[in-house]
Amino acid sequence: MLLQAVCTLALLAGSAVAAHAQDWPAKQPLRLISPFPPGATPESVGRPVFDVVAKAIGQTYVFENRVGAGGTIGMGTVARADPDGYTLLVNSSVHTITPITYPNTKYDTLKDLVPIIPLAQFPNVLVTHPSRYKTIKELVDFGRTNPGKLTYGSGGVGASTHLNAELLGISAGFKAVHVPFRGAPDALREVVGNRLDFYFSPLATALPVIEGNEVRALAVSSLKRSPYLPEVPTTLEAGYPNSDYLFWLGVFAPRGTPQPILDRLHAEIRKSFDDANVKSVLAKQGADPMLLDPQAFDAFLRAEIKTNATIVEAAGIKPAN
């Protein structure tokens, strides 16, 4: 009887190990889909995180940039992928904008893309060419007295950088001309080249040109000042109520991905936040981890979609056909 019990325990233990190993049964890379150009924030943060995660789960990974249609090409790629744990989406807060601005996609953002974990939240920084405006008040005053004369860039129609600028315009009472680009670096280059009045850039993208005096930082969109720009006020401090805007990153999987894989990914990504290199990367980008479980992340997404719908309507942004 004792021998039989020992054998039974061994079989059970072996089954548990086999089941665990079969989370990812094949040695093939994880595909990390980003809807943004190479080098954008989803990739610059996602790589150090998945360096840690891939090692922990015994896999490798590759980043694929599927850019276009406001992020819906990349999102649709993952929504239609096999739910086997090998294809994941690393997306930004555009995730909660496209359901409003691209209502006719062939996937449902909330039903077909399962939230695993948010990676971090970031401030956007309002930048202008040093020859144009010295303060956010100067920019706003010009916009109020010269309707339609201000121009601003974004990472595309419906991008978070688009809504951030529109939110400031709604709060401050001015209307500016929107000039969309394929990604954050392109829009920032236009400000550096003195061809746009302003742009709400992700902080990490803008810091090098701010430090090089190629652009001037006028305000940050976060609730508190950035430790990297302690002298730069928030838009709220500057006197524009309800103008704060959150930029975040998160990881998603296709609906139907086995729950053990989702649980393992959540756990390993969360552990990666304790890695020294990941901490350093997030700190350099002025980011804070968002420590939400999948259920809380899902509730956050649903609430933000409602908030973004209000902004889109107030700004008069027309949904894509």
What integer pLDDT is reported at residue 8 of this predicted model? 43
User: What is the average per-residue pLDDT within 294-303?
Assistant: 97
User: What is the average per-residue pLDDT within 289-309?
Assistant: 94
Query: Could you state, in order of their start, the residue ranges of all structural domains in the chain?
Result: 30-121+247-315, 124-220
Report the predicted TM-score, pTM, of the whole model to 2 decimal places. Answer: 0.83
Using the predicted structure, report yes or no on whether residue 21 has a pLDDT greater than 60.
no
167-181 confidence digits (pLDDT tens): 999 999 999 999 998
What integer pLDDT is reported at residue 182 of this predicted model? 78
Using the predicted structure, report yes or no on whether residue 212 has a pLDDT greater than 70.
yes
Q: How far is residue 167 from each of residues 125, 163, 226, 245, 252, measured CA to CA in Å?
A: 14, 6, 20, 8, 27
Using the predicted structure, report yes or no on whether residue 106 has a pLDDT greater than 50.
yes
CATH 3.40.50.2300, applies to 30-121+247-315: no
Confidence of residue 10 (pLDDT cuts 50, 70, 90): very low
- Cα(309)–Cα(299) distance, integer angstroms: 16
Say which residue, 47 or 21, is predicted with more confidence: 47
Q: Which long-range contacts (CB under 8 A, 24 or more apart) does 235-238 make?
A: 235/126, 235/136, 235/168, 235/171, 238/135, 238/136, 238/137
CATH number assigned to the domain with residue range 124-220, chosen from the 4 options 3.40.190.10, 3.40.605.10, 3.40.5.10, 3.40.50.150: 3.40.190.10
Query: 18-32, 131-145, 181-195, 215-229: which has the minimum mean pLDDT?
Result: 18-32
Using the predicted structure, report yes or no on whether residue 321 has a pLDDT greater than 80.
no
Using the predicted structure, report yes or no on whether residue 25 has a pLDDT greater than 80.
no
Confidence of residue 109 (pLDDT cuts 50, 70, 90): very high
**How many CB atoms within 10 Å of residue 187?**
26
